[in-house]
């Protein structure tokens, strides 16, 4: 129903004449995924409000997305909203996972914010750093990602993360900056582009890298989470890594035929060798039981692995073909400071 742009008070026309109105205040929205963070959200919001207070030349909106928390997070968030009109609370109908929670938040602010900051709500991403991201954005950079100078995760997490990024750099057709999470600022036009990527098994940092525009890093020291435990156990991390690779690379599929070619060549060489033995060293031919068993197990193992690779891609195709919505929102409590009205 917004087909008449003239009815809008907004006067930003990139190619048009400069308007006579006073310079518009720019609006920065924060997208803040929350899953079982009841002991963190109040501290986080206080820190964020304090950090953003020194930029009174900007308008802020804090969009918390409750990702089906099992604890009192949602009640705490609604209390934050009651206390601060810049707070918006979206509650997903169940746990959809971090990537979809962020997507829901991005969808909610698309078109209304000039820039969007995505950050965790467990205080691992320091709110003060987001102000540095904003400053870099104001210099004309479209994507400012916070890159970890140090991180206080376990040795295991660091090792697996290193291995994953190493693999990804080798396999993927895009370049994804190392040591970055989803803590980043995106200009409105990047958010709009990212919003056009609707794949289900999302790897947002890959999508952002894919989208392009001017991207720059800001270094920061990542803290430990304040309270509670990680929502990314090993199982989720592995599936996240799998989707990261499969969403941006078909190399595993191509490796199947390469392995097949290699094995075929080897088997032809083996056959030549066997024929050679049969004709020239007939007395040396041993009953090759061990060889046959080893070859049998090796080849059937390889075949199963390769079928698994095909199956994984097929699974992704299946999910996309179903074309289901990415997430469901159970409750949308828009802050009074939010620019758009609730849908009637
Ligand atoms: N999170 C979420 N849904 C989930 C898991 C996590 O929205 O299913 C949120 C969580 O509340 C936090 C952010 O995503 O704000 C990062 O999660 P977490 O701190 O558990 O991951 P880690 O920092 O350990 O990688
Ligand atoms: Mg965390």
The residue whose CA is least distant from atom 19 of ligand 1 is 230
Segment 58-98, tens digit of pLDDT: 999 999 999 999 999 999 999 999 999 999 999 999 999 99
Q: Which of the listed residues 93, 122, 160 should we mutate to test ligand 1's pocket, taking the one with most ligand atoms within 8 A of CB?
A: 122
| Residue where the block lists tokens 């758009």 | 340
CB of 234 within 8 A of CB of 134?
no
- 71 CA distance to ligand 1 middle (Å): 14
Q: Is the pLDDT of residue 335 over 50?
A: yes
pLDDT confidence of 178, banded at 50, 70, 90? confident
- 13 CA distance to ligand 1 middle (Å): 38
3-state secondary structure of 184: strand
State the complex-level ipTM. Answer: 0.95
Segment 186-235, tens digit of pLDDT: 999 999 999 998 888 888 888 888 888 888 888 888 777 777 787 777 78
Enumerate the H helices of the chain as residue ranges: 41-53, 73-83, 98-109, 127-138, 155-171, 188-194, 204-211, 234-248, 251-280, 289-322
Closest atom of ligand 1 relative to the 37 alpha carbon: 11
What are the pocket residues of ligand 1 if the criterion is a CB atom closer than 6 Å to any ligand atom? 33-35, 37, 67, 95, 97-98, 101, 120-122, 124, 225, 230-232
3-state secondary structure of 245: helix
- Percent of the chain having pLDDT more than 70? 88
- In the beta sheet, which residues pair with residue 148? 220
CB of 92 within 8 A of CB of 104?
yes
- 129 CA distance to ligand 1 middle (Å): 18
pLDDT at 286: 63
Distances (CA, A) of 112 to 192, 209, 225: 11, 23, 31
DSSP string, 9-26: S----SSSPPPSSPPPPE
Q: What value does the mean pLDDT of the chain take?
A: 82
Residues near 86 by beta carbon (within 8 Å), at least 6 away in sequence:
60, 61, 62, 335, 337
Query: Does the reported pTM lie above 0.90?
Result: no
pLDDT confidence of 342, banded at 50, 70, 90? very low
- Looking at the CA of 231, which ligand is closest? 1
pLDDT confidence of 6, banded at 50, 70, 90? very low
3-state secondary structure of 92: strand
Q: What tokens were used for 112?
A: 């209304």
Sign of the Cα pseudo-torsion (173, 177, 179, 185, in order): negative
- 122 CA distance to ligand 2 middle (Å): 6
Q: What is the mean pLDDT of residues 251-259?
A: 80
Distances (CA, A) of 218 to 118, 128, 143, 147: 14, 12, 11, 6
């Amino acid at each position: 129903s917004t087909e008449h742009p003239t009815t809008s008070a907004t006067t930003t026309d990139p190619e048009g004449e400069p308007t006579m109105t006073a310079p518009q205040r720019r609006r920065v929205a924060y997208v803040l995924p929350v899953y079982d963070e009841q002991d963190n959200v109040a501290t986080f919001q206080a820190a964020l409000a304090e950090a953003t207070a020194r930029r009174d030349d900007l308008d802020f909106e804090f969009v918390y997305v409750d990702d089906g928390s099992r604890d009192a997070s949602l009640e705490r968030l609604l209390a934050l909203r009651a206390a601060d009109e810049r707070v918006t609370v979206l509650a997903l109908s169940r746990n959809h996972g971090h990537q979809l929670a962020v997507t829901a938040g991005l969808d909610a602010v698309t078109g209304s914010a000039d820039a969007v900051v995505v950050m965790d709500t467990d205080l691992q991403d320091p709110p003060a750093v987001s102000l540095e991201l904003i400053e870099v954005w104001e210099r004309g950079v479209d994507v400012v990602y916070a890159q970890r100078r140090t991180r206080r995760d376990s040795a295991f997490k660091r090792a697996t993360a290193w291995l994953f990024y190493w693999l990804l750099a080798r396999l993927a057709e895009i370049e994804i900056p190392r040591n970055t999470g989803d803590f980043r600022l995106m200009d409105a036009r990047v958010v709009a582009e990212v919003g056009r990527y609707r794949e289900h098994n999302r790897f947002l940092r890959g999508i952002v890298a894919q989208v392009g525009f001017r991207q720059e890093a800001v270094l920061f020291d990542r803290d430990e989470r304040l309270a509670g435990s990680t929502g990314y156990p090993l199982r989720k991390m592995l599936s996240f890594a799998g989707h990261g690779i499969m969403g941006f690379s078909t190399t595993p599929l191509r490796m199947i035929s390469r392995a097949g070619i290699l094995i075929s060549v080897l088997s032809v060489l083996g056959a030549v060798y066997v024929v050679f033995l049969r004709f020239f060293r007939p007395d040396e031919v041993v009953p090759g039981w061990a060889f046959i068993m080893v070859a049998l197990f090796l080849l059937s193992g390889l075949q199963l692995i390769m079928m698994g690779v095909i199956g994984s891609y097929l699974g992704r195709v299946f999910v996309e073909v179903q074309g289901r919505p990415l997430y469901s929102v159970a409750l949308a409590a828009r802050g009074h400071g939010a620019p758009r009205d609730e849908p009637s």
